[in-house]
């Protein structure tokens, strides 16, 4: 099942609020570009490059790497928004962030509009999947 199929299931299952909370949280962190820069500064530049690459394979990132790169306060903020613990929030980001970045960067870089307003970009991607 693709990310967008899972997201569509979240929306149809009444979990659209969680999806929006994640996208809103990313915007609150400075947008997707700022988030990727935190990963690069945390020594995960090769992993980020694989997400942006046109290659079919995204390198995985672990929940511990996510926590280390983003910091406990940011993870705790997301966990609070989702009503889950910090480890679960890190694991969720580790699972979905590579796919989201990959989807937002078909030409090898994140579209500037997505970097500035991920919520709108994410919802537009979702709408395209659901209604396109």
- The two most distant CA atoms of the chain are separated, in Å, by 39
Q: Which range marks the domain in which residue 50 is found?
A: 3-131
Q: Domain of 52: which CATH number?
A: 1.10.10.690
User: What is the domain count for the chain?
Assistant: 1
pLDDT at 119: 56
Q: What is the pLDDT of residues 20-70, one digit of tens each?
A: 777 788 888 888 889 999 999 999 999 999 988 877 788 999 999 999 999
Which runs of consecutive H residues, i.e. helices, occur in 1-132? 3-12, 16-28, 32-39, 45-52, 63-70, 72-82, 86-104, 112-116, 118-131
Instruction: Identify the residue with better confidence: 15 or 24.
Output: 24
């Amino acid at each position: 099942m693709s990310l967008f199929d899972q997201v569509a299931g979240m929306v149809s299952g009444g979990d659209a609020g969680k999806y929006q909370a994640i996208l809103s949280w990313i915007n609150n962190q400075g947008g997707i570009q700022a988030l990727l820069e935190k990963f690069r500064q945390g020594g995960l530049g090769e992993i980020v490059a694989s997400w942006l690459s046109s290659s079919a394979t995204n390198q995985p990132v672990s929940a511990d790497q996510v926590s280390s790169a983003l910091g406990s306060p940011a993870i705790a903020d997301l966990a609070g928004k989702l009503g889950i613990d910090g480890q679960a929030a890190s694991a969720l980001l580790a699972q979905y962030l590579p796919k989201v970045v990959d989807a937002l960067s078909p030409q090898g870089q994140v579209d500037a509009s997505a970097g500035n307003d991920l919520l709108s970009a994410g919802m537009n991607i979702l709408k395209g999947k659901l209604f396109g």
